[in-house]
Structure 1
């Protein structure tokens, strides 16, 4: 209210603030309401905390049954998802066994197939065995499909071992104890590791931890260094993995090197 009109202010108005050409007033009722509004947030937090504590106490009294129910629902959810995917995308039931063979006919990459469409995706076969077809070397130009193919095999084996149907016309898969992959290029400048350093550290870890029951997937090993050094490294790793006395596990090895 302007200062010239200050005489018209009711007696129950309380001056709140004086400005250059005006006065601000407040009433007792407004002041009480303001207090309630300002304290409401604190009251909300206190009430929320109280309700949360009460809920936790109630849950803790029956936590065993709740966790068992959650586990059952999670299992049903996973199995229902497997069934829906198998029906929708024409997956088949793989035959699992304890031998060393991986025999997949007309295998498909589940993600790539969905992106490009079933009619455009070209299925691929594979046969790996610790006895006679233990190491497969894939060569070809960029964008030929090498990485997609080796990823596809790894995904199908993994899907089979978690209880899912797989994208193929038939699949006989010997159980593997681990699936190791060395795919992609990246460095880690925060710890001073170059692309080549990371590539070698990860490859060494695979070689040290793999067993004859493992599946190894390697993509362009040795590309982080010079051509001839990369050739020597790739050749040495392939020979070591293939040697039954050293490791002798099933391996997919994609490379640009053709000699």
Structure 2
């Protein structure tokens, strides 16, 4: 029956593979979520933004060579945008085409018409990339959502397979046995073990214990011992063995006969 439920939607897989980067950016709208080639408009904007950024990366070197001002810097802030910064000792070397933008204590900031043009190109492209990428992503999500029922069915089937294979693997690896489930009023466990505690011991082996409980003649066990002697572990291991048996798992014991129970009390 599990095989019958494994009906993957190849069209959804193909859509996600074509549309979404692997791995995608952690933040939507930064240009790293939608895959290159999925949207021609988005690709064009990315190329324009990249070219403009490359121009600005080269601008500082070019302007230093043109003006002879070795300390010239090209920078950016959110208030003034892109600018060319020149220190006070070098203001006499500033070309005429530089337009003053801001005066500082140690110098002045300028821009040029060309710099302003590239600034506008970068900022507009960035805003449009963010808007377009978000729009494309949500459109893809809506398309995927139309197949949500079948996707969830496949996910549920895979979850079942994961549980069953894990129970099978641990049973083989740690010598679990198949319990016998009955409608009797007895719990009979021979050499039962706590499935978690026995795997956590390093320098010693787990001490297995028998259990016999019956509604007829053994409804109660009086369990005594000093602190840290394993009383709580014993209680939990019986409960876990009963639970594992009733969900269809093998159990950590030499043998186990479990009468069906409808509740487990914990403290």
What does residue 225 of structure 2 align with?
A: 140
Q: Deviations over 1:94-138 (max 9, x none)?
A: 111222111110100111100115961111000111111111121
TM-score (norm 2): 0.61
Unaligned runs of 5+ in 2: 1-85
Q: Matches of residues 210-229 of structure 1 in structure 2 within 5 Å?
A: none
2-structure distance, mates of 1:144, 1:30: 78
What does residue 17 of structure 1 align with?
A: 102
1-structure distance, mates of 2:168, 2:120: 59
TM-score (norm 1): 0.63
Q: 1:67 aligns with which of 144, 152, 172?
A: 152
Change in 2 beyond 3 A, CA 1:160/1:52? farther
Q: CA deviation at 1:66?
A: 1.2
Q: Matches of residues 110-121 of structure 1 in structure 2 within 5 Å?
A: 110-117=195-202, 120-121=205-206
Q: Deviations over 1:124-179 (max 9, x none)?
A: 00011111111112111111110111011111111111221110010111111111
Root-mean-square deviation (CA, aligned residues, Å) is 2.3
- Larger Rg: 1 or 2? 2
What does residue 19 of structure 2 align with?
A: none
Change in 2 beyond 3 A, CA 1:160/1:51? farther
Q: 1:90 aligns with which of 175, 186, 192?
A: 175
2-structure distance, mates of 1:146, 1:127: 16
* Worse-matched range after superposition: 89-98 or 47-56: 47-56
User: Given the alignment of the two structures, is residue 52 of structure 1 paired with residue 137 of structure 2, yes or no?
Assistant: yes
